[in-house]
Amino acid sequence: MTANLSETLTLLLIEDDDGDAFLVEELLKEAEAPPRTSWARSLREAKEKLNEHIQCVLVDLTLPDANRLQALEEVLKLAPHAAVLVLTGLRDVHVGVAAVQAGAQDYLVKQDIDARLLARAIRYAMERKRADLAHLALVQAELQAKENARLESALLPAALLRTEAIEHVTRYLPGSGGTLAGDFFDTVQTPDGSVHVVIGDVCGHGPDEAALGVALRIAWRTLVLAGRTDETMLRTLDALLRAERKAPEIFTTLCTATIAPDLRYARMRVVGHPPPVLVRDGHVEVVCDTPSGPPLGIFPDVEWRVIDVPLGEEWTMMLYTDGLIEAAVGEPGGEIGVDGLVELVRAHGDIDLDRLITHVGTLSDDLAVVLLRRRRG
């Protein structure tokens, strides 16, 4: 009766004994779907043949150029995605057990091998390797999710806001790539009643950029609470960015706003960032046509001009990162853009974040939004 291997495999046999190697190859030929087999007589030869196409390895632990588990360690290192079975003699059964403990999927005693046993052992090793890899991927995904959650909680904190005269709403959506980005925001009300808001975006994606965003946000909150909300704040954030970034080409855009205690006036700095959208007296507009200056981390000794914004009695202001205006819409390659965002708000009559986001297409980048609204009354 022929042995059964459920799929055609690419297999490497590492065996220095010609007779044993011939026996194993003959037994493999009896399988229903014989594997594509190559043979190495030493660890040196095996290193030349091990690659990403090898799915299973049968390795003898008594090679001329490797001492017992040394061969296994090298195989596991060179072919981490391959299933590995160890071949042992009757006297080395304990070595086979140690090999499984070291990372092999199973071991076989040469004197006990027949076609059926060999096929079953290979099939079992393949399934066990798949399970091991799936478990490893799950653990890595869980660790990444926990790290992302920790970073996101630091990037997107609870607002320090005492007044009930302002409605404060935030949203954060990850981009289609699923990689954590450096978008951050914060809102703080100081003892004089002023409301300070920031939203920013560190260029790039990944934990380094996210960690840098956390550092910038915490620094911003610290400076606001210390009363440093003028040009000194931006210069300090610029210095921090230059000191902490991993590469000199990394920059950060941001937008800051300080709303006066009477909530009728704001002073803003748009630092290479998309301009906020403002709804007041029924009119929808962007706060400024040109930014206050370039992003942080590009030019030294920059001055960022202040933008004075009258708000009035009733208004809605939306600060956002470029993930919102770069969302895909319409034909392939099309983006919403600032003008398209303004038109969407006009069509809705006001800014409803949930409704607005449902009209946004596929996100290529993370999207962060802070909305502040003051009702007359």
pLDDT digits (tens, 9 = 90+) for 154-172: 667 889 999 999 999 999 8
Instruction: Quote the CA–CA distance of 10 and 128 in Å, as a whole number.
Output: 17
Q: Name the least confident of 93-97, 307-311, 339-343.
A: 93-97
pLDDT at 354 (0 to 100):
84
Residue 153: is its pLDDT beyond 60? yes
Residue 2: is its pLDDT beyond 50? no
Q: Taking residues 312-331, what's their average pLDDT?
A: 83
Q: Show Cβ contacts of residue 319 under 8 Å, excluding neighbours closer than 6 positions.
A: 185, 197, 199, 255, 257, 276, 369, 370, 371
Query: Residue 200 phi/psi, 5° resolution?
Result: -145, 170
Please tell me what DSSP assigns to residue 100. Answer: H
pLDDT at 1 (0 to 100):
36
Give start-end residues of each CATH 3.60.40.10 domain in the chain. 156-374
What does 300-344 look like in DSSP terms, one character per residue? SS-----EEEE--SSEEEEEE-TTTTTSB-SSTT-B-HHHHHHHH
Residue type, position 76, single letter: L
- Tens digit of each residue's pLDDT (9 = 90 or more) over 122-149: 888 888 888 887 777 777 767 666 666 6
Q: Taking residues 89-117, what's their average pLDDT?
A: 81
We find that the CATH architecture of domain 10-137 is 3-Layer(aba) Sandwich (3.40)
Q: Show Cβ contacts of residue 74 under 8 Å, excluding neighbours closer than 6 positions.
A: 43, 46, 47, 66
Quickly state the pLDDT bin for 79 (edges 50, 70, 90): confident
Give start-end residues of each CATH 3.40.50.2300 domain in the chain. 10-137
Q: Which CATH number fits domain 156-374: 3.90.1150.10, 1.20.81.30, 3.60.40.10, 3.40.250.10?
A: 3.60.40.10
**Which of 91, 125, 169 is CA-nearest to residue 372?**
169
- Cα 294–Cα 298–Cα 302 angle in degrees, nearest 5: 55
How far CA 219 is from CA of 171, 238, 374, in Å, comes to 22, 11, 28
